[in-house]
Amino acid sequence: MTGGTRGDFSAVGPDGCLYATQSQTVAKVTNADGTCSFAPTTAVPILRLAPATTTAQVGTAVTLTATLTNVTTGSGHVVTFTVTGANAKVGTATTDSSGKATFTYTGTNTGNDTVVATTSSGEQVVTSNSAKVTWTAAPAPPVLAATGGGTSLPIGVTLMLGVLLVTLGGVLLVRPRS
């Protein structure tokens, strides 16, 4: 913290946000998107999880990266990623030489997940910020429209009709099975 003549104080917290005060109220200063990118003024180990928010379709993979800083050696730390919410699970990864550990998982349910990473540095447990993953429903499969009073079917549905349906340059061809 730095001191002013009127009791002004400001400091960068371990989360990378700027905290300032002139009274009994402390203001937190962030980037416009809510993230914090200032260099912390503390030498304690810090674990940051990014991206802080992301949205993906169910059935696709999301990768989160935990970055460990303010440590003597960044590599070799086991990071535990804990997911709570619609797709609860736990996974681990080991930090590389730049202090980064990545965790990739696939959501199977729509809804929100909160992910937190933890590791240890010496005897100190280090916990990251939380990241939010929003899972949305996958789009409905395309449908092959029926003509002549037939029934529409999703593309990819197999029927035993005694005919072979083939697409050629976007044109549907029907021919008897051989």
Name the band, by pLDDT with cuts 50, 70 and 90, for residue 1.
very low
Rounded CA-CA distance 101/167 in Å is 45
β-strand 124-136 against 53-57: which pairing, if any? parallel
Greater model confidence, 92 or 35: 92
Q: How many domains does the chain have?
A: 3
Name the band, by pLDDT with cuts 50, 70 and 90, for residue 97.
very high
Let me know whether 91 and 13 are in one domain: no
Let me know whether 51 and 107 are in one domain: yes
Let me know whether 132 and 49 are in one domain: yes
Q: What is the pTM of this model?
A: 0.61
Let me know whether 92 and 130 are in one domain: yes
Residues 6+ apart with CB under 8 A from 156: 141
Cβ neighbours of 135 (radius 10 Å) = 24
Nearest Cα residue to 22 out of 6, 38, 40, 44: 6
Task: Identify whether the C-beta of residue 79 lies closer than 8 Å to the C-beta of residue 9.
Answer: no
| C-alpha distance from residue 94 to each of 15, 74, 81, 117, 118 (Å) | 21, 10, 11, 12, 11
Let me know whether 61 and 124 are in one domain: yes
Let me know whether 52 and 135 are in one domain: yes
Rounded CA-CA distance 78/68 in Å is 11
b/e code 140-150 from CB counts within 10 Å (16+ = b): eeeebeeeeee
Let me know whether 66 and 108 are in one domain: yes
Average pLDDT over all residues of the chain: 82
Rounded CA-CA distance 132/64 in Å is 10
Let me know whether 113 and 55 are in one domain: yes
Mean pLDDT of all residues in 135-163: 64
Mean pLDDT of all residues in 98-108: 97
β-strand 143-144 against 153-154: which pairing, if any? antiparallel
Greater model confidence, 150 or 136: 136
Rounded CA-CA distance 82/92 in Å is 9
Amino acid at 114: T
Let me know whether 38 and 78 are in one domain: no
Greater model confidence, 157 or 92: 92
Residues 6+ apart with CB under 8 A from 121: 45, 68, 71, 77
Let me know whether 58 and 132 are in one domain: yes
Let me know whether 10 and 50 are in one domain: no
Residue 29's pLDDT is 85
Q: Please give the angle made by the CA atoms of 73, 77 and 83, to the nearest 5 degrees.
A: 140
Let me know whether 107 and 122 are in one domain: yes
* Percent helix, strand and coil across the chain, each to the nearest 5: 0, 55, 45
Expressed as residue numbers, the domain containing 33 is 1-42
